[in-house]
Amino acid sequence: MVIKKIAILFSGTGSNLEKLLAFLHQQTFEHCKIEVVATICNRPNAAGIEKSRAYGIEPIIIDHTRYASREAFDEALVEAIVKSGAELTVLAGFMRFLTPYFTEHIKAINLHPSLLPLFKGGNAIKESFESPMKVAGISIHYVSEELDGGEIIAQRCFEKYEGMPFEDFEAKIHALEHELLPETVKNLLNRN
C-alpha cells in the first residue's frame, strides 16, 4: 500500500484542519493510505493547535512575527515541509501571503471562502455576502505566486436566500468547506 504524506498549514480556529485529520489521517483508500506528517501554525495561540494534538500530532509553530522578512519566514516553512517528507501541502485557513520562494519549492493547495476568481484576499466571506450576487461558494486551488490566483481544482456553491443573516451565510460556507476540502485532497492523492 502506497503511503501519501501531507502537511497542513493553519493559522486560527482549525475547523478545516480537524476535518482533514478526521477524514484522512491514517485512513486507507483504494489506492493509498494518507498520513498527515506535519501540521504547521504561524500563531502560537491558535485554537487549532489543540485540535492537532487531539490526533497525536504536535504542531510545528513557526511564528511569523519572529522573522525579519516574508522570505525568511517562507524559508523556515519550506524547510519544515521538506523535512516532513510531505508530497502535498494543504493550506487550511493559513492567513499569510506567500512569496515565490514558497511556491517554487512546495506543491500546495489552498482553501478559499469564495467563488474564485471573485473576492480574492482576506475579506472574501464579507465581500461575497455583501455583493449583489445571488450565489456564493468556496474554492480549492493550487497555490501560485499570484494571491488566490492558481488553477482552480474544485468549487461548491449555494444560493443566498432573501434576508439571509450573515451568521447563516458564514455557517454555510464553513459547512461546504468541511465537506469539499477532505474530499478534494483524497481525490488528488487516491490515484494510481
Q: Which is nearer to ligand GAR, 32 or 153 (CB)?
A: 153
Q: x/- binding map, residues 78-97, to ligand GAR, per CB under 6 A?
A: --------------xx----
Q: Which is nearer to ligand GAR, 33 or 172 (CB)?
A: 172
123 touches 40 (CB < 8 A): no
Given 31, 112, 174, 178, the catalytic residue:
112
State the Cα angle at 70 between 43 and 91, rounded to 5°. 55
Please select the residue that binds ligand GAR; options are 6, 9, 16, 40, rule is CB under 6 A: 16
Q: Is 10 in the site for ligand GAR (CB under 6 A)?
A: yes
* 28 Cβ contact list (under 8 Å, min separation 6): 1
* Strand-pair partners of 3: 33
Q: Is 43 in the site for ligand GAR (CB under 6 A)?
A: no
Q: Is 155 in the site for ligand GAR (CB under 6 A)?
A: no
Clarify whether 178 is annotated catalytic.
no
Please select the residue that binds ligand GAR; options are 38, 78, 81, 111, rule is CB under 6 A: 111
User: What is the total count of residues that contact ligand GAR (CB under 6 A)?
Assistant: 17
Q: Is 150 in the site for ligand GAR (CB under 6 A)?
A: no
Q: Catalytic amino acids?
A: 112
Contacts with ligand GAR, residue ranges (CB under 6 A): 10, 12-17, 48, 92-93, 111-113, 122, 124, 174, 177
